Amino acid sequence: MSLTLHVDGAKWRASQDAALAANPSLVPVIKGNGYGFGQDLLCAEAGRLGVSLIAVGTYPEVPGALATFPGDVLVMEPFRGSVDSALPDLGNPRLVHTITARDDLDALRAAHTSARVVVEGLTSMSRFGAPVEKVGDLMAAGYGEGVALHLPLGSGHVGEISRFVEAVGGIRPFFVSHTTADEVAELRRRFPEHRFSARVGTDLWLADRSAYEVRAHVLDVRPLARGDRVGYRQRPQPAGHLVVVSGGTSHGVAMESPASAATARSRAIAVAEGLLEAAHRVRSPFTISGTMPRFAEPPHMQCSLLALPAGVPPPRIGDTVPVRMRLTTAYPDAVVVD
Ligand SMILES: *Cc1c(COP(=O)(O)O)cnc(C)c1O
């Protein structure tokens, strides 16, 4: 039994190539679950794209990226002297650190005199960063290779980025996140002497939804009479068929946040009951015979019980069925690229 991510390799790569062509200085972001594809596959794809720099999220992701991608690796979480000083690879000449404070810069350089850094500025995102008036000094003190700015979702970032460009002074490369290709083009028009590179994950790896699909195996099917009880919770079911499919909580099934639930009603239920508890009240993400049946009960760790309504033709054991999942929270058993 397995939950598999099927990828149409030609289509997927064409969509990556198009994203890079539209935004040639982009820096591929490879972090977390590797956007469902896994970090190793994405590192190989970044190598195929021919970019010289990728960005990972955290220090634990660094060794794998250095081993599978031949170019430079920017780690986007800030280096903290108090937390990260004993990690391997800190002085690797292909690794670029993110610095937000003078103490951290000093701790890094005390141990690794030639460690490479960018300086992150604190934007309205308010996650990490040095205040705008400190970025120039940190860049000078650290021989920073660029200024990193992480913006909230949405658009309208040009004004905020421009304030950093003007405050920092000098000619600097800027690495910007969640900034559209149009905004990057506008920044280049305003500041032709600077280089702007967008750090992009979702719009690079997940740009063409028709290029990939999650599929589950049908593991068992049996008729249900109205009122039959099933599962851990022995809930009575409507008449129809019970369909057992691969894919459960360990794969990220039913882990979507309420904001991505399909309707206001399902969002409200999810908020009121908690995501998993609400699962039996909303449609499951599995499509069987053209319908999306309800969960008979909250998904199990590696499989799910679905209540297929009477009148819908049941699938056969061994069939594969599509699963609608957000790939940033998907952990498939296998990724198959054809
Ligand atoms: C995750 C992340 C990105 C990429 O975000 P996407 O929405 O996947 O493109 C860019 N910059 C930073 C700092 C991030 O944490």
Quick: pLDDT tens for 158-213: 999 999 999 998 888 999 999 988 999 999 999 999 999 999 999 999 999 999 99
Which atom of ligand 1 is the closest one to the Cα of 29?
4
pTM of this prediction?
Answer: 0.93
d(Cα 81, Cα 65) in Å, to the nearest integer? 22
CB 63 within 8 A of CB 89: yes
CB 81 within 8 A of CB 104: yes
Residue 115, token pair as written in the block: 């460690």
d(Cα 276, Cα 232) in Å, to the nearest integer? 14
Mean pLDDT, rounded, of the chain: 93
Residue 321, token pair as written in the block: 């069925």
Q: Taking the alpha carbons of 268, 271, 273, 276 in that order, is the dihedral positive or negative? A: positive
> Which residue segments constitute the domains of the chain, with CATH numbers given?
8-205 (3.20.20.10), 213-337 (2.40.37)
Residue to mutate, 75, 153, 177, ligand 1, most ligand atoms under 8 Å from C-beta: 177
Within 145-259, strands assigned E span: 147-150, 173-177, 195-200, 212-224, 229-230, 235-236, 240-246
Q: How confident is the model at residue 269 (pLDDT cuts 50, 70, 90)?
A: low
d(Cα 123, Cα 150) in Å, to the nearest integer? 7
Q: What is the CB < 6 Å shell around ligand 1?
A: 29, 31, 57, 76, 150, 177, 199-203
